[in-house]
């Protein structure tokens, strides 16, 4: 009977220790996800400024519609190449 009680106490202590490790890992994961989302927003803002600058530069030599098409096609090509790279990593 005493052995069963010891086994039960040891099991409870093990669960408690594992729960602490899990909680710590969960907090780290949440912090990393929050920082990651913030960095994605900053990167998107930077991309917007980059595309805006490219449009303004192209607009100096081309009509606005042609400049918008040129910058848009360039952005789509870069995005497509990025997606192909991600596909290669995943598969």
Domain boundaries, the chain: 2-90
Model-wide pTM > 0.75: no
Per-residue confidence in pLDDT tens, the chain, 91 aa = 888 888 888 888 888 888 898 999 999 999 989 998 999 999 999 999 999 999 999 999 999 999 999 999 999 999 899 889 888 888 8
Query: What's the rounded Cα separation, in Å, for the pair 73 and 55?
Result: 11
In 10 A of CB 13, how many CB atoms? 10
| Residue 61 CB-half CA count within 13 A | 5
Query: What's the rounded Cα separation, in Å, for the pair 54 and 67?
Result: 9
pLDDT of residue 85: 87
pLDDT of residue 4: 83
């Amino acid at each position: 009977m005493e052995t069963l009680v010891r086994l039960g106490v040891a099991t409870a202590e093990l669960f408690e220790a594992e729960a602490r490790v899990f909680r710590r890992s969960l907090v780290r994961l949440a912090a990393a996800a929050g920082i990651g989302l913030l960095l994605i927003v900053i990167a998107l803002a930077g991309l917007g400024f980059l595309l805006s600058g490219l449009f303004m530069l192209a607009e100096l030599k081309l009509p606005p519609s042609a400049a918008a098409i040129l910058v848009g096609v360039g952005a789509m090509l870069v995005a497509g190449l990025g997606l192909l790279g991600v596909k290669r990593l995943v598969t």
